């Protein structure tokens, strides 16, 4: 075994390049790659695990953080369940505005009187508060979850995981999965 490892290392840069090719070819960062491609193609599309922040200015009781569940649904006050999977934040905001437009809620004024008021589009705030993580495993310093940022590449995810650690694993077939 030692002879084969030493011979592999003496093979020069060609063997090292082949090893690195295999290393990257075995990388399975499907979430990270898909997200990077989506970001490059345009606006970020919401996926399971993302956390959405929702608020209506003037109605603190309507503020909510909602995690997109496995079926792509979030539940918001007054609105109920809303399917947001694959939509952009702007798509979700427009949908929320359409659903809230015909509704009204009581609002108490400074003198204590209660009036029923409707919602205006510029009162509604919808944003991504937290992106779902990517998972990295294999011959890197710190395998596990890494926080995702729009535009993140596989190389950046590996760097966030502490970089490659070829000496830690088996030299003949280094592998990284996520």
pLDDT of residue 116: 81
Quickly tell me which residue has 């079926």 as its tokens. 71
pLDDT digits (tens, 9 = 90+) for 119-171: 888 889 999 999 998 888 888 888 888 888 888 888 888 888 888 887 655 55
Closest CA to 174 of 30, 28, 25, 19: 19
Task: Supply the pLDDT for residue 66.
Answer: 96
pLDDT range class, residue 86, cuts 50, 70, 90: very high
> From residue 2, how far is each of 158, 166, 167, 176 by CA, in Å?
28, 16, 14, 23
d(CA 81, CA 94): 15
CATH number for the domain running over 51-130: 3.30.1950.10
| Helix, strand, coil percent content, the chain, rounded in steps of 5 | 30, 30, 40
In 10 A of CB 93, how many CB atoms?
17
Q: What is the pLDDT of residue 59?
A: 86
pLDDT higher at 112 or 174 = 112
For the chain, the structural domain boundaries read: 25-41+132-177, 51-130
pLDDT above 70 as % of the chain: 69
Q: What percent of the chain has pLDDT over 90?
A: 29
Q: Residue with structure tokens 């991504």? A: 128
Tell me the two tokens of residue 53. Answer: 């922040």
0.85 exceeded by pTM: no
Burial class (CB in 10 A: 0-12, 13-18, 19+), 56: buried
Mean pLDDT for the stretch of residues 85-101: 93
Span 17-45, pLDDT tens digits: 333 433 443 444 444 444 444 444 468 99
């Amino acid at each position: 075994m030692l002879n084969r490892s030493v011979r592999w290392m003496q093979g020069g840069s060609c063997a090292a390049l082949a090893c690195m090719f295999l290393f990257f070819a075995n990388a399975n960062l499907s979430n990270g790659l898909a997200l990077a491609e989506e970001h490059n193609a345009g606006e970020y599309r919401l996926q399971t695990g993302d956390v959405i922040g929702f608020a209506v200015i003037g109605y603190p009781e309507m503020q909510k953080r909602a995690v997109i569940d496995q079926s792509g649904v979030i539940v918001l006050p007054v609105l109920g369940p809303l399917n947001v999977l694959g939509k952009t934040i702007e798509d979700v905001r427009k949908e929320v505005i359409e659903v809230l437009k015909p509704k009204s809620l009581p609002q108490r004024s400074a003198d204590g009187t209660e009036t029923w008021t409707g919602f205006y589009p510029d009162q509604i705030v919808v944003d991504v508060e937290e992106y779902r993580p990517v998972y990295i495993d294999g011959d890197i310093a710190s395998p596990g979850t890494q926080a995702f940022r729009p535009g993140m590449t596989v190389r950046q995810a590996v760097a966030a995981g502490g970089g490659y650690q070829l000496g830690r694993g088996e030299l003949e077939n280094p592998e990284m999965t996520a």
